[in-house]
């Protein structure tokens, strides 16, 4: 039964419908895999196999995702389950409702299953900022899986989930997908409702899937999209078949290569794999065009002003009054606030709250926040100009391989630069996907490299078709998310 965990979502569903196995078999296979491996990986914060099996027994396999267990990042509310956001300040909190994406997964027949570890409040690039545990990369358990959705990526790579949901504020789906050798999709801003997603930076956050194939991501995206009156930023769009361009080559596709994304300081082996992947795209029929995104150099600075400002406002609600951690025996209300937040938030969250509060403060708002918003507009215009010439962009997802646990904990700036190739997409609101493009030997162990495709706003169907064409051309060379030589498996 453990062999079931090697199946993609589409293969799993085909087996359900043929009667080869059942959704309950799939849940039990995942349970066995987690029992055997998660002590070393640390992807899950919680799981309820009894509830998952009960849902599996009554699953309708004729539905689009019928019977498929899907892991959930611990920042998305699921009725009755904990939602700690990886933080002590929400210890003991259980969600009183389903997020819209969870309701949509259930309607499509999926089984939301398990709470996956993350950087606290999605603030981080390594999943080392969780208040509960460190998640490890299945390819080398001495290394990070990326972040903030590290648990979601590691679970798919370690065969502890068929697919998962994560959130992406500045690369938190695509970067861990790259470092764990799986596929991760960030939809365009507004494509997926954020209702029930605990907010980090409201103008940047977006929910998206992790899976072992682009086709699985397309299926999950189809299930979770749609207008939601509870999220004013969700877009009212007609239903779309995100699988419409799957199975094609790249003939007629113009791929832009942003020169600013091939910079000094990038790991030479990563660059080599990405450049080989770009040549492969040309062999599949794509026309390659060099483009420029001239304001890229300002993206990290702009992001860490806007995101922290929004975090400062969003996290003000966590005060210990209504739910979550509460300081013992405070002397007065102000003492309660101070001690509750000091005890409940970790150092990275405190750092970002302080920075965000500073840039919003009197006398600094115009100098920092307002100026950052103006530069954000320039970054968005850079992408718009590029997309007038090309159908999509292709570039590295991460400048580095997965780094060692603890290596960058005391160097925040170096940690922030891990997202240098992903942040701008969130600022511009466009869609992006990371797919595996090869392995690099590092200290005797293979580590994955990710290739990133960036698409026009709301052009996910074309983006998925492009990623699928590349993925299918390499399917025999590197099955997505297969850490076969990992010490963890």
Respond yes or no on whether the N-terminal peptide bond of residue 148 is cis (omega within 30° of 0). yes
> Catalytic: which of 10, 73, 234, 273?
73
Residue 74: what pLDDT?
Answer: 98
Structure tokens at 415: 């940690």
Residue 2: what pLDDT?
Answer: 47
Average pLDDT over residues 304-316: 98
Strands of 183-186's sheet, edge to edge? 44-46, 111-116, 69-73, 163-167, 207-211, 183-186, 431-442, 445-455, 392-396, 254-258, 287-291
> Catalytic: which of 148, 152, 188, 193?
148
Do the domain assignments include residue 118?
Answer: yes
Domain CATH code at residue 412: 3.90.1300.10
DSSP string of 422-448, one letter each residue: THHHHHHT-EEEEEEEEEEEETTEEEE
Percent of the chain past pLDDT 90, that is, above it, reads: 93
Q: How far apart are CA 169 and CA 171, in angstroms?
A: 6
Residue 110: what pLDDT?
Answer: 98
Structure tokens at 62: 């004729």
Q: How confident is the model at residue 417 (pLDDT cuts 50, 70, 90)?
A: confident
Do the domain assignments include residue 211?
Answer: yes
* Per-residue pLDDT reduced to its tens digit, 329-369: 999 999 999 999 999 999 999 999 999 999 999 889 999 99
* Per-residue pLDDT reduced to its tens digit, 221-250: 999 999 999 999 999 999 999 999 999 999
Do the domain assignments include residue 18?
Answer: yes
Average pLDDT over residues 467-479: 80
Average pLDDT over residues 36-53: 97
CB under 8 Å to 149, separation ≥6 — which residues?
Answer: 73, 116, 118, 122, 127, 164, 166, 167, 168, 172, 173, 176, 184, 210
* Per-residue pLDDT reduced to its tens digit, 102-158: 999 999 999 999 999 999 999 999 999 999 999 999 999 999 999 999 999 999 999
What's this model's pTM, rounded to 2 decimal places?
0.96
Do the domain assignments include residue 457?
Answer: yes
CB under 8 Å to 328, separation ≥6 — which residues?
Answer: none
> Catalytic: which of 125, 172, 312, 398?
172
Helices 347-360, 299-314: crossing angle, 10 deg rounding: 100
Do the domain assignments include residue 278?
Answer: yes
Q: How far apart are the first and last CA of the chain?
A: 16
What domain range is 443 assigned to? 2-264+271-292+379-473
Q: How far apart are CA 167 and CA 147, in angstroms?
A: 10
**Is 193 annotated as catalytic?**
no
Mean pLDDT estimate for the chain = 95
DSSP string of 103-169, one letter each residue: HHHHHTT-EEEEEE--SGGG--SSS---SS----BTTBTTB---SSSHHHHHHHHTTS-SEEEEE-S
Do the domain assignments include residue 337?
Answer: no
Residue 264: what pLDDT?
Answer: 86
In this predicted structure, the answer to whether residue 20 has a pLDDT above a threshold of 50 is: yes
Average pLDDT over residues 451-459: 98
**Is 213 annotated as catalytic?**
no
Structure tokens at 77: 């509310």
Q: How confident is the model at residue 3 (pLDDT cuts 50, 70, 90)?
A: confident
Do the domain assignments include residue 258?
Answer: yes
Q: How far apart are CA 15 and CA 419, in angstroms?
A: 38
Residue 87: what pLDDT?
Answer: 98
In this predicted structure, the answer to whether residue 59 has a pLDDT above a threshold of 90 is: yes
Structure tokens at 158: 């370690």
Q: How far apart are CA 226 and CA 449, in angstroms?
A: 32
Do the domain assignments include residue 26?
Answer: yes
What is the chain's length?
Answer: 489
Residue 477: what pLDDT?
Answer: 58
Q: How many domains does the chain have?
A: 1
Q: How confident is the model at residue 480 (pLDDT cuts 50, 70, 90)?
A: very low
* Per-residue pLDDT reduced to its tens digit, 157-208: 999 999 999 999 999 999 999 999 999 999 999 999 999 999 999 999 999 9
Q: How far apart are CA 370 and CA 168, in angstroms?
A: 23
Residue 487: what pLDDT?
Answer: 45
Q: How far apart are CA 41 and CA 151, in angstroms?
A: 9
Average pLDDT over residues 260-276: 95
**Is 73 annotated as catalytic?**
yes
Q: For 453, how many CA atoms within 13 A lie in the half-sphere containing its CB?
A: 35
Average pLDDT over residues 53-82: 98
């Amino acid at each position: 039964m453990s062999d079931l965990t090697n199946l993609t979502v589409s293969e799993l569903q085909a087996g359900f419908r043929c009667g080869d196995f059942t959704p309950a078999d799939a849940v039990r296979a995942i349970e066995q895999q987690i029992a055997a491996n998660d002590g070393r990986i640390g992807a899950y914060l919680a799981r309820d196999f009894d509830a998952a099996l009960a849902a599996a027994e009554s699953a309708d396999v004729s539905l689009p995702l019928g019977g498929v267990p899907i892991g959930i990042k611990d920042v998305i509310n699921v009725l009755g389950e904990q939602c700690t956001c990886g933080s002590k300040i929400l210890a003991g909190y259980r969600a009183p409702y389903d997020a819209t994406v969870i309701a949509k997964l259930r309607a499509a027949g999926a089984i939301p299953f398990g709470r996956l570890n993350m950087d606290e409040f999605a603030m981080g690039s390594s999943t080392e900022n969780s208040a509960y545990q460190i998640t490890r990369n299945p390819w080398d358990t001495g290394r990070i899986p990326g972040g903030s959705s590290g648990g979601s990526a590691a679970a798919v790579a370690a065969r502890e989930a068929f697919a998962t949901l994560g959130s992406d504020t500045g690369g938190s789906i695509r970067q861990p997908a790259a470092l764990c050798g799986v596929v991760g999709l960030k939809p365009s801003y507004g494509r997926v409702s954020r209702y029930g997603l605990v907010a980090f930076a409201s103008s940047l956050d977006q929910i998206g899937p992790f899976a072992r194939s682009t086709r699985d991501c397309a299926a999950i995206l189809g299930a979770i999209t749609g207008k939601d009156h509870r999220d004013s930023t969700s877009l009212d769009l007609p239903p779309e078949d995100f699988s419409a361009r799957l199975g094609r080559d790249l003939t007629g596709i113009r791929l832009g290569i942003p020169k600013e994304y091939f910079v000094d300081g990038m790991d030479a082996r990563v660059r080599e794999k990405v450049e080989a992947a770009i040549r492969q795209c040309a062999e599949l029929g794509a026309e390659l065009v060099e483009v420029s995104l001239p304001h890229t150099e300002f993206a990290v600075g702009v992001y860490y002003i806007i995101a922290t400002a929004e975090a400062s406002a969003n996290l003000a609600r966590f005060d210990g009054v209504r739910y979550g951690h509460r300081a013992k025996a405070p002397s007065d209300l102000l003492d309660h606030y101070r001690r509750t937040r000091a005890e409940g938030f970790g150092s990275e969250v405190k750092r970002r709250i302080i920075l965000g509060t500073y840039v919003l403060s009197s006398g600094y708002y115009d100098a920092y926040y307002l100026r950052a918003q103006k530069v954000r507009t320039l970054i968005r215009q850079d992408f718009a100009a590029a997309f007038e010439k090309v159908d999509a962009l292709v570039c590295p997802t991460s400048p580095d391989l997965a780094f060692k646990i603890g290596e960058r904990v005391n160097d925040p700036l170096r940690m922030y630069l891990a997202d240098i190739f992903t942040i701008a997409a969130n600022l511009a609101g466009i869609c992006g996907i990371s797919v595996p493009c090869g392995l690099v030997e590092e200290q005797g162990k293979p580590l994955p490299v990710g290739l990133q495709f960036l698409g026009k706003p709301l052009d996910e169907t074309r983006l998925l078709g492009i990623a699928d064409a590349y993925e299918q051309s390499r399917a025999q060379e590197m099955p997505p998310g297969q850490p076969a030589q990992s010490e963890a498996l």
